[in-house]
Structure formats: C-alpha cells, structure tokens
Chains A and B, each alone.
Chain A
Amino acid sequence: MKRSWFGRTWPNVVAVVLFIGLVFPVYWMFATAFKPTGDIISEDPVWIPFDFTFEHFKTAVDADHFWQMVRNSVTVTVLAVVFSLAIALLSAFALARMRFKGRRGFIIGFMLAQMAPWEVMVISIYMIVRDAEMLNSLVPLTLFYMVMILPFTILTLRGFVAAVPKELEESAMVDGCTRMQAFRRIILPLLAPGLMSTSLFGFITAWNEFPIAMLVNKDPESKTLPTWLTSFQTVYGDDWGATMAASTIFAIPILLLFVFLQRRAVAGLTDGAVKG
C-alpha cells in the first residue's frame, strides 16, 4: 500500500507543529527560569538560555516560609492520595466482586459525586471549617482533598478489579489463602497500573487545589504551594524570572511523576476507561 509523499508527510508535519505548540509554554517556563534578567527583558526573545543562572530559584526559595509550604503541600497531597486509595480499594472490591442490594445505587451515587461542584462550595466549606475551629490546619484540607478524588478512584479501580479474573483468587483460596490474603497477594499486584493512574490524578488534583486552600489556610505556616505561587506572582509582579522559577518548582514534582510514569499511567487510564 504505497501512499504519496504528501499523504505520508502531512500527518508528521502537523504532529511536529502540534508538539511545538503543546510543549512551548512548558519550555518557556523552564527557559525563563534559568535566564539572566537581562535576557528575559530583551527586545528580542532569547530562545535558548545559553547563559544560565540559578538566581531566580534562589529568590523563590528564599521567600518566607517556602520550605514549610513545600512540606504542607507534600503532606496534604500524599496523605489525601493514600487515604483515598485505601478507602477506594475496599469500595472498588465490593462494587466489582460482590452482588448486593443497592449496588447500582452506590455506583450512580459515586458517579454523581464525581461531578461535585467543589469550586462553588468554598464558602460553605469555609464556614464548616471555621465552626469546627480548624482554620489554618492541614487536617481539613487533607480530608476534603481525599473526598474530592475518592469517586474517581473508586470508579476507576472498580474497572481494574473487575478485569482481574476471578479464577485467580479462587485458586489461591483453594490453595489455602484467606480472602484477604488472596486479595493482597494476587489481586493487589495486578492492580498496580490502576493504582498508579488513579494516584497520579489524585496527586494532580490535590497538589493544584487552590480556592479552598486560599480561604481556609491563611497563616503562612499552614499555606500550600498554589496559594503561595499566586501571591508570589502578585508580589514579584514583573520579575518574570522569579515567577517562572517559582512555577517551575511548583510544577516539577507533577511533571516528573507524569514523565516517568507516562506510559504505564496513560495505559492504565485508558484501560480503565475502556474496560469500565
């Protein structure tokens, strides 16, 4: 099947153009973060930072409470993801493997919860946290983020659990494993891609969350990085080097996770979506 040169080439040309369009903003963030200020504010853009500096990163890292906020963000994100995975696994197992009254109701309920309008509930969340006297604590953030990512985690893992052949578990139980052991030794390892893709999305959601964090945690000791980044941006205004360095620091953990896990995570996601 021979196609014309044009027929073979145009998809590649389009792909390269798209690739540049998709990657350029990310590249420009990195490039600016490393450029000396003189190169940033030059009449003609300096496309490649041959001359590079870490001075902007120093400005960002030297911001008050920077490391405290890194710790806060990491703590809240990791705990929210871990808790939600643990809770979701139980539910996913029940929904995929057991028959019981109300099962469909639960699935529909989690589907609806997935559409939850978190963005418009911030006022009510603020009031609840205030009345519980938990403002400026990491506990409410962790719990809200956990529930925010829970429905997606449950529904995706349900698909993965359902895809593991029941016979594997059964034969393990015939060999003398308890149901729990069969689950831990046989099913759990097979769920690795599912766990990976769900936790990746959990990470992104929690790492990014901004409206609740901004209202509920105002003390510098309890702030998370998204709030820091936006306020940093207002303070440093036109210091694009520092702002891009701060953005880079904020984006790097997620970008790295994604790039390292890319193939498995993306395969995991699409498997989940296809198998449902």
Chain B
Amino acid sequence: MTVQTERPPSGPPEVVKSGGGRTGAPRTPRVRIGSLGPYLLLLPALVATLVFLGWPLVNNGILSFQNLNMRQVILHLTEWNGIDNYKEVLKSEDFWRVTGRSIVFTAINVVLIMVLGTLIGLLLAKLGTKMRRLLLFGLVLAWAMPVVAGTTVYQWLFAQRYGVVNWVLAKVGFSSMADYDWFGGQYSTFFVIITLIVWMSIPFVAINLYAATTTIPKELYEAASLDGAGAWKQFTSVTLPFLRPFLYATTFLEVIWVFKALVQVYAINQGGPDRLTEILPVYAYIEGSGNQHYGMGSAIAMLTIIIMLFLTAYHLRIVLKQEEDA
C-alpha cells in the first residue's frame, strides 16, 4: 500500500485450500541442481528480506534504547540510556491517548470497510453484466487512485471555500455548512480521513468478495431452496459460511493496513489540528523525525508494532496453525 500504502493490496492466499496436486511425493524428474536447489532459489529473496526488512527492524529495536536526538545524530554519538525511552513513553498521557484513538480509528474504519465492501461485493453478484462492468470500473478507478493524489483530491472536495461538499450541504439545507472548515476540528478531520480510507479500501474487499461468491457451487443454493430456505436463510446458511474464511482473512489484512495508515493521515492534515488526529504511526513519525527525538520515536515504533501484533494475534495464530497443518 498504500497503500494502499499504502495501499499495497495483497490477496489472502491462505484462504481457500484446494489441495490441488501439490501434495504428491516429489515427482521432480531428474533433480539436476541437487537437494540444494530450492534453497538456492530462495536465497536471493531471503537475503534481500533479511537485509532490508530484518535489519531495520532490529536496528529500530537498538535505537529505541538510545538517547538519540538531533545533537547525537549530527555528531554521530551513541548514547545508551536503557529503557528510559520506554519509561517516558509509557508514562506519558499522550501515548495512551494516541493508542486509544488508534484502536477506535482502526475499528471504525475496518467495520465500515468490511460491511460496505461485503454489501457491494454481494451486489456485484446480483447485477447484470453491463451494470456489473460499470460498477467494477468505478471500483477499479477508486482502487487505482494513488494515496497521495487521493488525499489532495479529498482536501479539495472538503475545502472550506469553493469545496464541492460544502456547496452541496448548503444546497440541501445545511446553510451553516457553506463555509465549514473541515480541517479545523478533530472529529471533522477524522471524518474526512475515514471517508478517504473507506473509499480507497472498499474495492479490494468488494472485488475479492465478489470473486469468492462466484466460486460457491450452485447446488448448495438449490439444495437450500429445496429445503424451503428463503433468501435470508440461504444467505446465512450458504453464502455466509462459504465466505467466512475470506471475511476473516480480509478483516485481518484491513486491520493491519488501517492501523498502519500513515500517509493518509499525515498528508491530509499532518496529524492536526493541534496533533489531535495523530494515530500511532503518525505519532512515532512526528516525534521521531519531525521533533528529532529519534530514540523516542523508535521506542514508540516498537510499541506500535507490539500493539499491532496484539491486535492481530488471534488471526495470526489461526493462519500459522493452518499453514502448519497443511
């Protein structure tokens, strides 16, 4: 992502296990490169990941135990200060306020994304070909919009003067909204950010979910309707159970993506007004690089990672177990 990271969307490859063909004994004809083969093939990816992902992670841990501010950075000094950064962060009221805010922010976004995305996915399955193509095109367009461009467009849509949202609101009767400053308050800024994130995240859920519904065997519905199940009963007894693994996996991915949403929040109002819309990654970024408390920023980053693991632990356990049983 950017995704998203972004929105760097990724399919949940672990969801549907087809078993297909890969379970057989090693039928590999003529092993040429010998038993080292697979490891050699994996080596480049492994090295690259360890160096460019593993090392920053470890380094982040190391930095979090240092007293590292502008002065130390310029003079290339290494000053260890044990767990002082952590103590200070955990003692500060700000950190807990930002943490609580991040969790609520993630929950609101993920619920909206999952509910709306699922509904749109089901709608796609219900539409005729032409309408489906039209809606798919709209989804793809919103999906493809780069995050940074998306934020500037939303700033313009919600601009205080000449912003089209205020104009529409004034036209439909909220005349007090004609000059409303969306970025002047905490909740209204969050409203814009959430609208932006939901808008750019729905396509992934909707399109994947639609694809999943196309794999539901028709016989299941026939059997259900023979048993006298109505539309709602069919939905809860056939569609929903079939889609459950998809919904779990997608929810998990969305939790991760939304929780890490730095770019949208930062680019739309730099965490403002008055730092009131900072969520954890933004907080770490602003403390760390903006205010040049690099050690503190690293400690906040480590705590953010721990909180994120905590939030996703349940699903992560299931995924790991599935993969081990496979």
Contacts and interface: CB of A to CB of B under 8 A. Distances in A.
Interface of A: 11-12, 14-16, 18-23, 25-26, 28-29, 32, 40-42, 44-45, 87-88, 90-91, 93-100, 103-104, 106-111, 113-128, 130, 143-144, 146-152, 154-156, 158-159, 162-163, 165-166, 170, 173, 178-179, 201, 204-205, 207-211, 215, 226, 229-230, 233, 238, 240, 243-244, 246-248, 250-251, 254-255, 257-259, 262, 266, 269-270, 272-276
B148 A210 contact: yes
A272 B38 CA distance: 22
A111 B14 contact: yes
A117 B145 contact: no
9 contacts: A45-B167, A90-B42, A115-B256, A119-B260, A120-B281, A122-B288, A127-B63, A166-B21, A258-B141
B142 A90 contact: no
B298 interface: yes
4 closest A-B pairs by CB? A273-B11, A270-B211, A258-B144, A124-B60
B177 interface: no
A238 B167 CA distance: 17
Contacts of A229: 148-149, 152
A15 B1 contact: no
Contact of A158 (B13, B38, B141): B13
B5 to A, nearest CB: 6
A106 B207 CA distance: 29
A125 B2 CA distance: 18
A150 B51 CA distance: 13
A42 B161 CA distance: 10
B129 interface: no
B75 interface: no
Nearest to A180: B32
Interface in B170-209: 199, 202-203, 207-208
Contact of B44 (A90, A152, A170, A246): A90
A273 B152 contact: no
A148 B48 CA distance: 10
Contacts of A254: 144-146
Contacts of B161: 41, 238
Contact of A147 (B37, B52, B153, B266): B52
B323 A107 contact: yes
B59 interface: yes
B26 A156 contact: no
B157 A127 contact: no
A96 B8 CA distance: 23
A202 to B, nearest CB: 8
Given A156-B10, A166-B27, A233 B144 contact: no
Given A100-B39, A117-B305, A273-B208, A211 B262 contact: yes
B8 A204 contact: yes
Given A156-B13, A204-B146, A11 B120 contact: no
B248 interface: no
Contacts of A154: 45
Contacts of A14: 123
Given A91-B42, A215-B289, A205 B131 contact: no
B294 A127 contact: yes
A147 B28 CA distance: 30
Given A120-B281, A120-B284, A247-B153, A208 B301 contact: no
Interface in B131-145: 131-132, 134-145
Given A146-B52, A273-B11, 10 more contacts: A11-B126, A25-B154, A120-B300, A148-B8, A162-B22, A208-B1, A208-B6, A255-B145, A258-B144, A266-B140
B99 interface: no
Interface in B21-68: 21-22, 25-30, 32, 35, 37-39, 41-42, 44-46, 48-49, 51-53, 55-57, 59-60, 63
Nearest to B300: A120
B320 interface: yes
Contacts of B294: 123, 127
Given A119-B262, A121-B301, A251 B145 contact: yes
A61 to B, nearest CB: 16
Nearest to A253: B146
Contacts of A248: 149
Given A144-B52, A244-B156, A149 B162 contact: no
Contacts of A99: 25-26
B17 interface: yes
Interface in B102-148: 120, 123, 126-128, 131-132, 134-148
B271 interface: no
Interface string B245-271: 000000000001000111100110000
A201 B4 CA distance: 9
Contacts of A88: 45
Contacts of A32: 156
B150 A25 contact: yes
Contacts of A255: 141, 144-145
B319 interface: yes
